[in-house]
């Protein structure tokens, strides 16, 4: 009887994790497409520049390559000779999976790279957690920079941005302090977590201990002043590359002919639309469109149709880039590694 109740709870929890992202996507899509002329939007999209679309694809790939380079720097103490091709492939596989199932991409890329590089899952999960924390910190910084560089008051157009910014700053400070104390007092934290949670559930305590181990392994993987500096520089470059992609997006639809576009505009747009990517919707569908359109209309004065068209085309390009890259890297690298394993097995048999 208890087993049936547990199964029902597990089924309900899994269903909720699946249904909630879809529901959020539907809500945001309704907001983005409400009272829009679909034919007009399709007409704008049909006139998109092929040249600038290709440039946008290349820029997006470059920004994700920078992410792979940063991950390699983080992995330096774990495996200095890790293949950048494997790391880049794992990054793209993770993005591809995230387009279908939100946040599962992080698990996928950790598992895939662990397999390809013969590294433990715990160490891979730990470095992925560290990367996500770094991303949150730099996302907060991009929003702060947006408030500084944009002459108009962002808070007037987006009232929720001020509270979001305050929360982000508090979280950033809290995360940095948490990492510092976690590394400094690792053993004490571990004992305390097990002791507290064991009072409620042994299973929960063991799960928490596993997550704690992954986090400490990930935090400890980033060692050395040089690697810290490289990580900070690469994180800044990643954000700059994302903003460059947003800037090139203007030219795909000829929006520079409507009014002058600047890199500062692209930076502000990137920082706001990135919040849409953080929302747990499948592949950021709906949330990205709604926030990108709102920023283009409310801040920069573009028409609603072309603003939505911008959100659609930049999202479609990134979406298919992730899906196709994930498939190519997954099957190509898996095949390559399977061949290597067969060669090693053959040589071992001959010996």
Look at residue 153 in the predicted model and tell me its pLDDT.
67
39-43, 79-83, 152-156, range with the lowest pLDDT:
152-156
Residue 220 has pLDDT above 60, yes or no: yes
Confidence of residue 124 (pLDDT cuts 50, 70, 90): confident
Confidence of residue 310 (pLDDT cuts 50, 70, 90): very high
Choose between 313 and 186: higher pLDDT: 313
* 107 is a domain residue: yes
* 20 is a domain residue: no
* 142 is a domain residue: yes
Look at residue 43 in the predicted model and tell me its pLDDT.
93
Q: What is the pTM of this model?
A: 0.81
* 345 is a domain residue: no
How many domains in the chain? 1
Look at residue 349 in the predicted model and tell me its pLDDT.
44
Residue 234 has pLDDT above 50, yes or no: yes
259-273, 279-293, 304-318, range with the lowest pLDDT:
279-293
Look at residue 12 in the predicted model and tell me its pLDDT.
52
Choose between 351 and 200: higher pLDDT: 200
Look at residue 103 in the predicted model and tell me its pLDDT.
65
Most confident of 170-174, 242-246, 278-282: 242-246
Residue 31 has pLDDT above 90, yes or no: no
* 40 is a domain residue: yes
Parent domain of 311: 34-335
Residue 221 has pLDDT above 90, yes or no: no
| Rounded (5°) CA angle 309-146-245 | 40
Look at residue 192 in the predicted model and tell me its pLDDT.
72
Confidence of residue 347 (pLDDT cuts 50, 70, 90): very low
* 166 is a domain residue: yes
Look at residue 22 in the predicted model and tell me its pLDDT.
78
* 44 is a domain residue: yes
Look at residue 120 in the predicted model and tell me its pLDDT.
77
* Residue 230, C-beta contacts closer than 8 angstroms, at least 6 positions apart: 70, 73
* 173 is a domain residue: yes
Most confident of 9-13, 232-236, 288-292: 232-236
Residue 83 has pLDDT above 60, yes or no: yes
Confidence of residue 183 (pLDDT cuts 50, 70, 90): low
């Amino acid at each position: 009887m208890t087993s049936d109740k547990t199964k029902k709870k597990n089924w309900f929890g899994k269903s909720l994790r699946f249904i909630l992202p879809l529901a959020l996507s539907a809500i945001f899509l309704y907001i983005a497409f409400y009272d829009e002329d679909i034919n007009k939007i399709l007409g704008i999209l049909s006139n998109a520049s092929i040249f600038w679309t290709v440039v946008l694809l290349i820029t997006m790939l470059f920004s994700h390559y920078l992410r792979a380079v940063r991950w390699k720097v983080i992995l330096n103490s774990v495996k200095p000779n890790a293949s950048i091709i494997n790391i880049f492939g794992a990054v793209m596989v993770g993005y591809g999976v995230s387009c279908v199932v939100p946040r599962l991409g992080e698990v996928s890329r950790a598992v895939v790279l662990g397999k390809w590089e013969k590294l433990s899952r715990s160490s891979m999960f730990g470095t992925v957690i560290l990367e996500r924390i770094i991303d949150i910190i730099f996302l907060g910084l991009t929003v702060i920079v947006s408030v500084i560089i944009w002459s108009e008051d962002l808070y007037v157009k987006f009232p929720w941005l001020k509270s979001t910014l305050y929360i982000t700053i508090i979280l950033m400070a809290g995360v940095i302090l948490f990492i510092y104390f976690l590394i400094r007092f690792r053993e004490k934290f571990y004992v305390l977590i097990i002791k507290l949670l064991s009072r409620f559930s042994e299973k929960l305590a063991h799960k928490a201990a596993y997550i704690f181990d992954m986090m400490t392994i990930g935090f400890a993987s980033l060692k050395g002043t040089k690697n810290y500096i490289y990580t900070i520089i690469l994180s800044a470059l990643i954000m700059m590359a994302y903003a460059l992609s947003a800037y090139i997006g203007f030219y795909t639809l000829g929006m520079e002919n409507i009014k002058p576009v600047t890199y500062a505009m692209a930076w502000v747009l990137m920082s706001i639309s990135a919040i849409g990517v953080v929302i747990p919707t499948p592949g950021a569908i709906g949330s990205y469109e709604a926030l990108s359109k709102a920023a283009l209309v409310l801040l920069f004065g573009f028409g609603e149709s072309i603003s939505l068209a911008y959100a659609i085309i930049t999202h479609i390009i990134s979406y298919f880039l992730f899906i196709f890259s994930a498939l190519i890297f997954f099957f190509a690298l898996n095949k390559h590694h399977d061949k290597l394993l067969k060669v090693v097995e053959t040589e071992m048999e001959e010996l």
